Structure 1
Amino acid sequence: MDRHSRRIVGCFIGARDEVSAFGLWESLPARYLDARCHTDGLAAYKSVVFGGLHVIGGTQHIERFNATLRLRVAHLVRRSLSFSRKQAHLELLIWMFIHRYNASLR
């Protein structure tokens, strides 16, 4: 998430491990690769984000977005309520929400 515009600039759907952290880093546009990256201190991020670019803390904005995502996308609430049979459908649904979210910002 860009801290100034609140736009989602990159996304990777997967477990919280080094592969996913690298996938998230690869999803960022080139102009964000030299920006500071605020994380929750997960060890997987330390192997991807190096040196002074890695800041632990300051994740309130992305946590608020995650709560909004869970609230508005029923597939993320409980598996028994609504679900996607294919991972690709879930990923498409989340990407569509992100694009709509970004378009709704000023």
Structure 2
Amino acid sequence: MGCRGRRTARKLWRRLPSAYRQAWCYTDLWEAYTGVVPRRQHLAGYGRGTTNHIERFNATLRARIGRLVRKSLSFSRSQKLLDASIKLFLHDYNATKHPR
């Protein structure tokens, strides 16, 4: 959660598990990623099919969590409630898609 600036990108990068920070990172051409993701593992661009999985998941989030689409139809009274609703969705999504 947050703006798409370099500061938020750094915060996200620090919070990733170390194994994820060693993997290839496929991103769009947003400027904030260039100073955060190491060049040797960063592939940015469109049209190569590299970001299709995450874009598909983003579409799933918007389709199933109305709060992410329009503030006038569904909204959270606070950032804490929005975070909680997304965490609940992710928990349910992971439990039903990838049961143990």
TM range (shorter): 0.7 to 0.9
TM-score scaled by structure 2?
A: 0.86
**Higher RCO (Cα < 8 Å, 6 or more apart):** 1
Number of the residue aligned with 2:61: 69
Within 5 Å, give how 1:1-106 maps onto structure 2. 13-57=1-45, 58-106=50-98
**In terms of Rg, which structure is larger?**
2
Q: Distance in 2 between matches of 1:42 and 1:25?
A: 15
Letter matched to residue 55 of structure 2: E
Task: Give the number of aligned pairs.
Answer: 94
Specify every segment of 5 or more residues in structure 1 that has no aligned partner in the other structure, as ranges.
1-12
Q: Which has the higher helix share?
A: 2
RMSD of aligned residue pairs (Cα, Å): 1.2
Identity within the alignment, %: 50
